[in-house]
């Protein structure tokens, strides 16, 4: 009897807890059914929870090390849940409160060094005007990057299976990876729609035609030298800029502002939200820009994606497209994107040029349910170049075939 009395408070507490959870759940359901919450909280909650689940459990592309941030197991997920259920008051007025997570959360072996690679006093977009020399945006004005011979890596043209590509399932299986969170139909993914779009741009403009930037600027490689920006993804972006400019005659603006460092620490949770208004400001300041490239380095555990052309090791690349469409809930209404079809066609036509002249250079196009700032231009690209295990040389070499296929598609060759 004495032991039973000790258990009574625990039994009562458990019963009250269960009753409380039941009342809370019923209250939320009733509130949602009656349209309570003028800010659309209950309507957005399922989508936000789905996004949280995708970010947390995306096993194909996502991996993280808890000790990297010094948090306890599960602590980061707990913070995400709290952010979804109880967003900060100042964010309630924003049209988008969702945080578009990084495509890949990678393990950085030299994170402390990378945190110091770029000064927090980077030139902001507000300091960039239409009268500013585009080259002043780059921090690589004195970087000596050797230029390759024109089209030195191009291979003999391959014959592609165009007839087979007319089949939806063949097309999807052979050239795409559909994330479990996303869905796509034959109306959007069909050969005529993808290849029928004219993606040529005007090259006789007064100002840059192409913008290169990096939502995740701190991504580095297996042999990156500490403190050398040329050995990061920003250096790879500068390499691409120089090839496009010197060999193909494009005018390119390379924007090098940092979006994945918060208070001196690596933090990519809000990088896409931070980058969006700056990219919009650049496009307004330079209306001549028609192509927007967000250049990344992928992070896949124990994988080094590399091929070889004419004896040169080349990192493989992957085009990444956000569909703003959830397999569970349909259109992601809080992430509208009028350019889904255009951007998908852009990635696919580049993929086909790579298949024709650089077989094995590209991984399959990855399709995700979110947006990743691809609503900002009808020629938006998110490109993953190599992984954390590729070398700087392999990354630099990859920009040669990438620049070539960009030139072919943008000039209609």
Interval 301-349: pLDDT, tens: 888 999 999 999 999 999 999 999 999 999 999 999 999 999 999 999 9
pLDDT for residue 406 is more than 60: yes
pLDDT reported for residue 145? 58
The pLDDT score that the predictor gives to residue 12 is 74
What's the pLDDT score for residue 273?
96
Q: What is the CA radius of gyration of the chain?
A: 24
| Segments in 286-382 forming alpha helices (H) | 340-357
For residue range 110-127, list pLDDT tens digits in order.
233 233 333 322 333 333
Q: What is the pLDDT of residue 73?
A: 38
Instruction: Please tell me whether residue 261 adopts helix, strand or coil conformation.
Output: strand
Other CB atoms closer than 10 Å to residue 24's CB: what's the count? 10
For residue 100, pLDDT beyond 90: no
Is the pLDDT confidence value at 7 over 80? no
* pLDDT top residue among 109 and 166: 166
Q: Which two tokens stand for residue 278?
A: 């700056």
The token pair that represents 23 in the structure block: 């009342």
pLDDT at position 227: 86
Read off the pLDDT of residues 38-68 as tens digits, 9 standing for 90 and up.
445 444 555 555 544 444 444 334 333 333 3
Instruction: Reply yes or no on whether the pLDDT at 147 is more than 80.
Output: no
Q: Which of 5-19, 177-191, 301-315 has the lowest mean pLDDT?
A: 5-19
Which residue ranges make up each domain of the chain? 111-410
In three-state form (DSSP H/G/I as H, E/B as E, the rest C), the secondary structure along 362-406 is ECCEEEECCCCCCCCCCCEEEEEECCCCCCHHHHHHHHHHHHHHH
Average pLDDT, rounded, for the chain: 77
Which residues share a beta bridge with 293? 212, 381
**pTM higher than the cut 0.75:** no
The span from the CA of 13 to the CA of 311, in Å, is: 71
How many percent of the chain have pLDDT more than 90? 60
d(CA 59, CA 8): 44
Burial letters 177-204, b for 16+ CB under 10 A, else e: bbbebbbbeeebbbbeebeebebebebe
What mean pLDDT comes out for the span 250-275?
Answer: 94
Q: What is the pLDDT of residue 411?
A: 97
- pLDDT (tens digit, 9 = 90+) per residue, 187-237? 999 999 999 999 999 999 999 999 999 999 999 999 999 989 999 999 999
Q: Are 356 and 158 in contact (CB under 8 A)?
A: yes
């Amino acid at each position: 009897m004495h032991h039973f009395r000790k258990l009574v408070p625990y039994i009562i507490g458990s019963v009250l807890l269960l009753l409380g959870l039941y009342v809370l759940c019923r209250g939320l359901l009733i509130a949602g059914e009656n349209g309570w919450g003028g800010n659309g909280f209950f309507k957005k909650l399922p989508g936000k929870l789905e996004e949280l689940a995708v970010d947390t459990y995306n096993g194909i592309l996502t991996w993280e090390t808890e000790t990297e941030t010094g948090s306890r197991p599960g602590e980061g997920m707990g913070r995400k849940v709290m952010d979804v259920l109880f967003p900060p008051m100042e964010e309630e007025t924003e049209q988008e409160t969702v945080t578009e997570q990084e495509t890949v959360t990678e393990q950085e072996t030299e994170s402390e060094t990378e945190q110091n690679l770029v000064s927090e006093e980077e030139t902001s977009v507000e300091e960039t005007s239409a009268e500013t020399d585009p080259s002043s945006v780059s921090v690589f004005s004195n970087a000596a990057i050797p230029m390759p011979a024109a089209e030195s890596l191009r291979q003999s043209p391959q014959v592609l299976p165009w007839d087979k590509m007319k089949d939806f399932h063949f097309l999807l299986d052979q050239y795409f990876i559909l994330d479990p969170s996303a869905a796509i139909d034959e109306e959007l993914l069909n050969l005529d729609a993808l290849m029928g779009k004219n993606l040529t741009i005007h090259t006789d403009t007064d100002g840059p035609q192409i913008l290169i930037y990096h939502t995740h600027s701190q991504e580095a490689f297996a042999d990156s030298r500490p403190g050398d920006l040329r050995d990061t993804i920003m250096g790879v972006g500068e390499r691409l800029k120089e090839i496009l400019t010197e060999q193909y005659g494009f005018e390119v603006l390379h924007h090098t502002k940092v979006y994945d460092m918060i208070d001196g620490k690596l933090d990519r949770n809000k990088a896409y939200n931070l980058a969006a208004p700056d990219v919009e400001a650049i496009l307004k300041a330079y209306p001549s820009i028609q192509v927007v490239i967000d250049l990344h380095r992928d992070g896949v555990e124990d994988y080094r994606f590399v091929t070889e052309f004419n004896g040169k090791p080349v990192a493989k690349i992957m085009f990444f497209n956000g569909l703003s469409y959830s397999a569970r809930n349909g259109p992601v209404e809080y992430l509208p994107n009028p350019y889904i079809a255009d951007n998908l066609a852009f990635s696919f036509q580049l993929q086909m040029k790579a298949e024709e002249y650089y077989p094995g250079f590209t991984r399959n196009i990855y399709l995700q349910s979110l947006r990743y700032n691809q609503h900002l231009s009808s020629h938006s690209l998110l490109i993953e170049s190599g992984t954390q295990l590729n070398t700087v040389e392999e990354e630099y070499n990859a920009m040669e075939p990438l620049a070539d296929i960009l030139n072919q598609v943008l000039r209609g060759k």
